[in-house]
């Protein structure tokens, strides 16, 4: 099959590209490189340096060849930033996604897989782990902007027949076990690479935002899913949307606290890490753990790389060997 991956130069998108290539598919990547990296695009994929905010350029890519499906990862994705500048998030994530969906409809694409988020479930009252039919109550403009696109895709299915899979994955982490790709955000905001940088002596003491949550050790609890497992999940999702649209939560069903992540990095690195408590951040729920059982039942998928120490080990190896991220050859 031939697939277009929007945002395929980013962290999760680049790992999805690897998974598709490993499965024998033909892959084209569309990315504006605002947060992604050209070196993250594997040699086996073609590349289009295009901004989804430019509808004409996006249309040109979709019209350039026949795609069997589109995978959409491109978005602004920082919860805290969205709390400070919500209109930017609604405009960028909304318009860019609408342009891509419009181009798919206009050019006869039949399958669309959307990178949604656990940030849809920001309310204090909910079951844990969280099933896909849980109450939608975004705790941030970022989460709200993603839910807006889920609703657009609902109507694109009903009116145009564009089948979609909305995958609400929780915390993507780790790196390709073969070392072909890794995590390089600028600035870095994710806990595991930040903690690894402390272990490698590249950062001072880590800040743990909130130690008074109603959790087992007072720090936030999150469900960490290895990006390699996430990449294979996208391939499984494509098989689910031949004749219907679907929505799934993706994760492991097991949560780890921020302090437990620090302890895992200490085990993998063999080093004791300094950390200090900091105030809570706006928009951060105490616990976010997925119930992926429906996706596992429907597809046969299961996470194989997502034990916490495995996630940390693969991330540590890539980060240690790439001190400048994709900034080095």
Please say if the pLDDT value at position 281 is more than 90.
no
- Put simply, whether the predicted model's pTM sits higher than 0.75 gets the answer yes
List Cβ neighbours of 162 (8 Å cut-off, separation of 6 or more). Answer: 101, 104, 105, 109, 110, 111, 112, 153, 156
Please say if the pLDDT value at position 325 is more than 90.
yes
Which tokens in the block code for residue 113?
């897989």
**Is it true that domain 2-171+226-250 has CATH number 3.40.50.720?**
yes
What are the sequence ranges of the domains in the chain? 2-171+226-250
Quick check: 295 and 249 in contact, CB under 8 A? yes
Q: How confident is the model at residue 125 (pLDDT cuts 50, 70, 90)?
A: low
Please say if the pLDDT value at position 19 is more than 50.
yes
Q: How confident is the model at residue 124 (pLDDT cuts 50, 70, 90)?
A: low
Q: How many residues appear in the chain?
A: 329
Least confident stretch, 46-55, 85-94, 117-126? 117-126
The secondary structure of 100-139 as a DSSP string is HHHHHHHTT--EEEEE--GGGB-SSS--SSBPTTSPPB-S
Least confident stretch, 61-75, 92-106, 272-286? 272-286
Residue 142 known to be catalytic: yes
More confident residue, 225 or 123: 225
Annotated catalytic residue, options 3, 142, 147, 256: 142
Please say if the pLDDT value at position 244 is more than 50.
yes
Helices (H), 179-281: 191-199, 227-240, 258-269
Distance CA 88, CA 137 (A): 20
Query: To the nearest whole percent, how much of the chain has pLDDT over 90?
Result: 93
Percent of residues in the chain assigned helix, strand, coil, to nearest 5: 40, 20, 40
| Mean pLDDT confidence for 176-199 | 96
| Mean pLDDT confidence for 53-70 | 98
Q: Check residue 329 and give its pLDDT.
A: 43
Q: Check residue 328 and give its pLDDT.
A: 55
More confident residue, 20 or 124: 20
């Amino acid at each position: 099959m031939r697939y277009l991956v929007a945002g395929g130069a980013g962290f999760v998108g680049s790992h999805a590209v690897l998974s598709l290539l490993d499965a024998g598919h033909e892959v084209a990547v569309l990315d504006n490189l605002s947060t992604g990296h050209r070196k993250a695009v594997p040699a086996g994929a073609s590349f289009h340096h295009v901004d989804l905010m430019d509808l004409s350029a996006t249309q040109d890519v979709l019209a350039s060849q026949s795609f069997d499906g589109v995978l959409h990862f491109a978005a602004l994705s920082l919860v805290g930033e969205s709390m400070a500048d919500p209109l930017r998030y609604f405009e960028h994530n909304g318009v860019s996604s609408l342009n891509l969906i419009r181009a798919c409809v206009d050019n006869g694409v039949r399958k669309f897989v959307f990178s949604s988020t656990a940030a849809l479930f920001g309310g204090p009252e909910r079951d844990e782990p969280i099933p896909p039919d849980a109450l939608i109550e975004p705790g941030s403009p970022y989460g709200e902007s993603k839910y807006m696109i889920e609703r657009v895709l609902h109507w694109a299915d009903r009116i145009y027949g564009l089948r979609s899979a909305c995958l609400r994955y929780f915390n993507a982490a780790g790196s390709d076990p073969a070392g072909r790709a890794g995590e390089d955000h600028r600035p870095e905001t994710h806990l595991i690479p930040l903690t690894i940088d402390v272990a490698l002596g590249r950062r001072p003491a880590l800040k743990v935002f909130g130690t008074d949550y109603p959790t087992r050790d007072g720090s936030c609890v999150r469900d960490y899913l290895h990006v390699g497992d996430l990449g294979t999940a996208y391939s499984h999702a494509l098989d689910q949307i031949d004749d219907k649209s679907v929505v799934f939560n993706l994760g492991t069903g097991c949560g780890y606290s921020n302090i437990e992540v620090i302890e895992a990095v200490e085990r993998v690195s063999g080093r004791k890490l300094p950390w200090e408590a900091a105030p809570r951040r706006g928009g951060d729920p105490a616990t976010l753990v997925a119930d992926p059982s429906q996706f596992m039942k429907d597809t046969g998928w299961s996470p194989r790389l997502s034990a916490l120490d495995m996630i940390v080990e693969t991330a540590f190896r890539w980060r240690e060997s790439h001190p400048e991220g994709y900034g080095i050859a």
